[in-house]
Amino acid sequence: MLVDYHVHVVAHGEYHYREEWLNQYLDRAQQRGVQAIGLIEHDQFREKIDWKLIEASKRPDLHIAAGLEIDFVPGREESIKRMIDQLPLDFVMGSVHFIDDWAFDHPDHRAGFDALDIDQVYSDYYVLIDKLVKSRLFDIIGHLDLIKIWGHRPHKKDSLQHVQPILHSIKASPMVIEINSAGLRKPVQEMYPCRQIIEKMFQLGLPVTMGSDAHHPDQVAEGLADVSRTLWSIGYRKVIAFKGRESYPLPLAL
């Protein structure tokens, strides 16, 4: 029994919402024991979402939710709010993929790390995450420590020291943290966030959901058995899902 709340049907715009294509995702999810799936597109592809098709794709043993993964960029708060208000969303995920104009997680821009002070990069990234949390625009925070994607580690403070103040801000919000398995298939070879951060989250009583960040049906639920085992071993017993932007718990089961 799994929850996969991070599934991109149009990927980076190359695919389309067609019944046959969407069914490949849903079939794969059910074959892999997914009980609740969150279809989520990057906000720049929101025009491609076929809300009616999602609505018509109901299945008896699968909760289907529709979401949006929004790039958080400071100064964009008002337009993000308008976008959210106009769409029939079950949930909204906020993610940081850019530091200024630098798409640090994109393979073509990985070399950007070479020219920069890594401690500064981590600080800059977490300033943005802190603003994302305090904006109170989102239900879920996506891949919390994505900045480690290529394996660069900070020297002066460790990741937990960077994240800890933010976890306290999250505690003051109703936000859910996504445990994202995509890092397991990236050079860093760790889930986002790492176990040490998840342990701290558990101590603070912060709720979680999980996602594969699939950009193809083959990737649905990939790595989520690992995520489930990690969450279970730390003490988590439930995972959060959403309907109409209201959260509800599902049991975590191995």
Contact map string, positions 15 to 54, toward Zn ion, x by CB under 5 A: ----------------------------------------
Shortest approach of Zn ion to residue 155 CB, angstroms? 26
Shortest approach of Zn ion to residue 123 CB, angstroms? 20
**If binding is defined by CB under 5 A, does position 213 make contact with Zn ion?**
yes
Which is closer to Zn ion, CB of 16 or CB of 237? 16
**If binding is defined by CB under 5 A, does position 95 make contact with Zn ion?**
yes
Which is closer to Zn ion, CB of 43 or CB of 213? 213
Which is closer to Zn ion, CB of 42 or CB of 63? 42
Shortest approach of Zn ion to residue 60 CB, angstroms? 27
**If binding is defined by CB under 5 A, does position 181 make contact with Zn ion?**
no
Q: Burial code of 82-94, b = ≥16 C-beta within 10 A, e = fewer?
A: ebbeeeebbbbbb
Which is closer to Zn ion, CB of 41 or CB of 231? 41
Shortest approach of Zn ion to residue 254 CB, angstroms? 25
> Using CB under 5 A, which of the segments 20-28, 52-60, 63-71, 120-128 binds Zn ion?
63-71
Site for Zn ion in 67-86 (CB under 5 A): 69
> Residues in contact with Zn ion, total (CB under 5 A)?
3
Shortest approach of Zn ion to residue 146 CB, angstroms? 7
130: Cβ contacts below 8 Å, ≥ 6 apart: 165, 166, 169
Shortest approach of Zn ion to residue 233 CB, angstroms? 26
**Contact predicate 31/254, CB 8 Å:** no
**If binding is defined by CB under 5 A, does position 212 make contact with Zn ion?**
no
Which is closer to Zn ion, CB of 145 or CB of 213? 213
Which is closer to Zn ion, CB of 95 or CB of 228? 95
Which is closer to Zn ion, CB of 12 or CB of 168? 12
> Using CB under 5 A, which of the segments 89-97, 120-128, 150-158, 242-250 binds Zn ion?
89-97
Geometric angle at alpha carbon 168, from 213 and 7, rounded to 5°: 10
- What is the SS3 string spanning the chain? CEEEEEECCCCCCCCCCCHHHHHHHHHHHHHCCEEEEEEEEEHHHHHHCCHHHHHHCCECCEEEEEEEEEECCCCCHHHHHHHHHHCCCCEEEEECCCECCECCCCHHHHHHHHHCCHHHHHHHHHHHHHHHHHHCCCCEECCCCHHHCCCCCCCCCCHHHHHHHHHHHHHCCCCEEEEEHHHHHCCCCCCECCHHHHHHHHHHCCCEEEECCECCHHHCCCCHHHHHHHHHHHCCCEEEEEECCEEEEEECCC
- Contacts with Zn ion by CB under 5 A lie at 69, 95, 213
